[in-house]
Amino acid sequence: MEAVELLVGRFRGSMVGALMGDCLGAPFEAEPRAARSVLNSYFKRLSCPDIKVPYKAYTDDTAMTRCVALSLIQEKGYNAEDMAKRFVKEFYAEPRRGYGSNVVDVFAALRISKFEDVYGPAAWQFGGSGSYGNGGAMRVAPVALFYHPAPDQKVVSVAKDMALITHGNRLGYNGAVLQCLAIREALHTPTNQLDVVKFIQSLKEMMKKVETLGEDEILEKGQIEFEYTGRLSRLASLMERGDQVSIDAVEEELGNDISAHRSVPTAIYSFLRASNSIPNIEAETAFMRTIHYAISLGGDTDTIASMAGSIAGAFYGIAEIPESLQRHCEGLAEAIQQADQLHSLATNTHPPPS
């Protein structure tokens, strides 16, 4: 029973972690990089039990993550057409969640075509090269949770297909695969046994298989076959340097923008770096240190913090996420409910009591 409760806590941690990174990181997106002292004050203020502020609204990151979770729950597995329809319905119901113009074009094409080919509109974008943004990676957490007991090949396949609905470029869908594998690796790692070197090496080994070109695959001009494998090597080098690594160095080596290959490795690095104390970051838990650090990197703060939060939440569990901060996020109850339903289906058990 204790093992079940622990896993439930990790499922909840991943879904709530993704939500919190999104909600708390959104105010800093595309703004000048926030100093650590500013972020310390921001989180300290929100943690005050007497403070009353409006909900921190979630963005398209969470809106699409919820669609992925709902589809997996309702269909009891991956159904491309159902998921695509949920994305489109969600967007047209609430279009002002911060969606990018490219994905909106995909939604419009899907609706006009009546979902005849759910992968077609994304594949045809940018002259047939597809998008390499991080929109597939930002919503993949429910896939990692639902399929966590499945073989690697199944997890990779579903993560890739889920991303292909909107991101037809190799960098876009492989970014979703890496993020999915990172969440799953965190979920399977005992909380008191995080070996950073082993964690990175495990991801490198899996991504090398993923990135090895198939017979029918052709690299586009300027693309590297082992893009993510190489970036994981850079990540490992940064970890070896510890506190000597500046934010500028992280941006240069890993990135902090909306492209998948320049944000997913950054989210993973944020989780691993924050597993130990970081100078000038005041945080109640290692989970909150992860969110704080991810936001401090600037750039696409909501998505990078959301991806880092989903990994950290899967590792630390919801008990390490302060309730004083959870309460500020729009959609908290839904995130917890979906986590419980995903756990129930993944383990064939009944949802735990709230």
Binding residues: 59-61, 300, 302-303
Query: Which two structure tokens, joined as six digits, stand for 295?
Result: 């936001």
Alpha helices by DSSP H, 94-150: 101-112, 120-128, 141-146
Pairwise CA distance, residues 254 & 42, whole Å: 26
How would DSSP label each residue in 312-338?
A: HHHHH-GGGS-HHHHTTBTTHHHHHHH
Query: Which two structure tokens, joined as six digits, stand for 66?
Result: 């919820």
- Sign of torsion, CA 50 309 313 164? positive
Pairwise CA distance, residues 116 & 112, whole Å: 9
The answer to whether 134 and 175 are in contact (CB under 8 A) is yes
Query: Which two structure tokens, joined as six digits, stand for 302?
Result: 């909501």
Residues annotated within a binding site for Mg(2+): 59-61, 300, 302-303
Pairwise CA distance, residues 313 & 306, whole Å: 10
The answer to whether 115 and 153 are in contact (CB under 8 A) is no
The answer to whether 295 and 269 are in contact (CB under 8 A) is no
Q: Give burial (CB, 10 Å; 0-12/13-18/19+) of 72.
A: buried
What are the start-end ranges of the E strands in 192-271? none
Pairwise CA distance, residues 14 & 306, whole Å: 10
Q: How many CB atoms lie within 10 A of CB 353?
A: 5
